[in-house]
């Protein structure tokens, strides 16, 4: 892991499509690591991304970036998994899920074989199920398997709330928990701007509490992927930056609170599934999943979201 690792800090990336390449492009600008190996079943694609990124190095900080294979993951502090299959015309979500499960079953044993001591960060969708499967396939301790979870949804939520209130989204403290998907849950009862609960945030700009407008903001958050995919086919910049933030928290042992997906061990009565709650992330990976003082409705919605995931996991594990 990052703290114990001697020599250059290395990270691995499996899947150099839109999400993987966006992550790699953002990551190389941060200077957090000195080596990044790119792996893709389409090796030419990984090679082309490595070439393009390398040509940008004179504008940032020196770093070794190359298209490699699984053996090159040896000693990587973190391996980011963004490999996935896109939906084919006429294909159901369950069929797509089965294809992505097959991809994961091919990738994870190779990562662990060559890098048993690293952390795996999964972004491939459906990310909560993929995270739970990675945990099962890898046999790694739960602290070392992290899903990007609702980090993106939380960012979208903060961004839209910031726009609505004309406030820097970094000053908006609001979380989306649960599934990264349709059953996700906004934690309105805890949302605040600079410590002021949203219900009491009476701005001089005329943005008083407006339940209908806020519900609209949540719906735009939850449905953002559909809106973007409809217009440009995929979403990748914001998740790329989100993945950089998670890797940074690990490499710099920052103990950052983020809504990542990890194994539940009885939180709100939930276990045996990976799902998102605000979580402290550092060099050891998952350090602590926080228990928040949720309202009764929020707690129920979180449990329903977890149950939805468990049912879907049972469906896929009995068909593949």
156: contact with ligand NAD by CB under 6 A: no
Note if 164 is an active site residue: no
Give the H/E segment covering residue 288: strand 285-289
Phi, psi of 190, deg, nearest 5: -110, -5
Q: DSSP states of 206-271 as a string?
A: S----HHHHHHHHHHHHTHHHHHHHHHS---HHHHHHHHHHHHHHHTT--EEE--EEEEEEETTEE
Pick the closer one to ligand NAD by CB: 235 or 279: 235
Pick the closer one to ligand NAD by CB: 146 or 270: 146
283: contact with ligand NAD by CB under 6 A: no
Q: Are 293 and 190 in contact (CB under 8 A)?
A: yes
In eight-state DSSP terms, residue 178 is B
Q: How far is the CB of 234 from ligand NAD (least distance, A)?
A: 4
Q: How far is the CB of 230 from ligand NAD (least distance, A)?
A: 14
- Pick the stretch among 10-18, 170-178, 198-206, 244-252 that binds ligand NAD (CB under 6 A): 10-18
Separation of alpha carbons 267 and 189, rounded Å? 18
**Sole binder of ligand NAD in the list 1, 80, 123, 263 (CB under 6 A):** 123
- Pick the stretch among 169-177, 188-196, 235-243, 289-297 that binds ligand NAD (CB under 6 A): 235-243
Separation of alpha carbons 116 and 119, rounded Å? 9
Shortest Cβ contact with ligand NAD: which residue? 17
Catalytic: which of 43, 180, 202, 255? Answer: 180
**Sole binder of ligand NAD in the list 68, 84, 178, 278 (CB under 6 A):** 84
Taking CB under 6 A as the criterion, which residues in 91-110 touch ligand NAD?
A: 103, 106-107
**Sole binder of ligand NAD in the list 11, 24, 37, 40 (CB under 6 A):** 40
In DSSP terms, 80 is beta-bridged to 13, 121
235: contact with ligand NAD by CB under 6 A: yes
17: contact with ligand NAD by CB under 6 A: yes
User: C-alpha dihedral over 236, 241, 245, 250, to 10 degrees?
Assistant: 60
Taking CB under 6 A as the criterion, which residues in 173-232 touch ligand NAD?
A: 180
Q: Are 165 and 193 in contact (CB under 8 A)?
A: yes
Pick the closer one to ligand NAD by CB: 123 or 294: 123
Q: Among candidates 207, 146, 206, which has minimal Cα distance to 172? A: 207
**Sole binder of ligand NAD in the list 27, 236, 302, 313 (CB under 6 A):** 236
125: contact with ligand NAD by CB under 6 A: yes
286: contact with ligand NAD by CB under 6 A: no
**Sole binder of ligand NAD in the list 15, 186, 278, 282 (CB under 6 A):** 15
Tokens 């539940």 belong to residue? 264
Q: How many residues bind ligand NAD, per CB under 6 A?
A: 29
Q: Among candidates 284, 278, 100, 74, which has minimal Cα distance to 190? A: 278
Half-sphere exposure in the Cβ direction for 144 (13 Å, CA): 20
- Pick the stretch among 120-128, 200-208, 265-273, 305-313 that binds ligand NAD (CB under 6 A): 120-128
Q: Are 147 and 274 in contact (CB under 8 A)?
A: yes
Give Cβ neighbours of residue 220 (< 8 Å, ≥ 6 apart): 156, 160, 227
Pick the closer one to ligand NAD by CB: 167 or 243: 243
Q: Which positions are catalytic?
A: 180
Which stretches of the chain bind ligand NAD, using CB under 6 A? Answer: 14-20, 40-42, 45, 82-84, 86, 103, 106-107, 123-125, 127, 148, 152, 180, 234-236, 239
């Amino acid at each position: 892991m990052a703290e114990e690792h001697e020599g250059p800090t290395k990270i691995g990336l499996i899947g150099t499509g839109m999400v993987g390449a966006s992550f790699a492009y953002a990551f190389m600008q941060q200077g957090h690591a000195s080596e990044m190996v790119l792996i893709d079943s389409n090796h030419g694609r990984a090679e082309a991304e490595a070439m393009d990124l390398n040509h940008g190095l004179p504008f940032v900080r020196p770093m070794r970036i190359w298209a490699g294979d699984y053996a090159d993951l040896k000693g990587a502090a973190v391996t980011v998994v963004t490999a996935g299959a896109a939906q084919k015309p006429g294909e159901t979500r369950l069929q797509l899920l089965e294809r992505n499960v097959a991809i994961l079953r091919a990738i994870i044993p190779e990562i662990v074989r060559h890098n048993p001591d690293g952390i795996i960060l999964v972004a491939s969708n459906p990310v909560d199920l993929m995270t739970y499967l990675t945990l099962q396939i890898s046999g790694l301790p739960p602290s070392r398997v992290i899903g990007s979870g609702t980090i993106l949804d939380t960012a979208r939520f903060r961004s839209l709330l910031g726009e609505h209130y004309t406030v820097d989204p970094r000053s908006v403290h609001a979380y989306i928990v649960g599934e990264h998907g349709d059953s996700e849950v906004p934690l309105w009862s805890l949302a605040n701007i600079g410590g002021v609960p949203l219900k009491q945030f009476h701005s001089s700009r005329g943005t008083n509490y407006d339940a209908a407008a806020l519900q609209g903001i949540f719906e735009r958050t939850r449905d953002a992927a559909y809106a973007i995919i409809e217009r440009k086919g995929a979403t990748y910049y914001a998740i790329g930056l989100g993945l950089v933030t998670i890797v940074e928290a690990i490499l710099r042992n920052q103990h950052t609170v983020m809504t990542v997906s990890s194994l539940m061990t009885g939180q709100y009565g939930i276990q045996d599934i990976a799902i998102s709650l605000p979580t402290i992330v550092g060099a050891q990976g998952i350090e602590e999943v926080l228990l928040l003082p949720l309202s009764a409705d929020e707690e129920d919605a979180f449990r329903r979201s977890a149950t939805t995931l468990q049912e879907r996991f049972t469906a896929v594990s009995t068909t593949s």
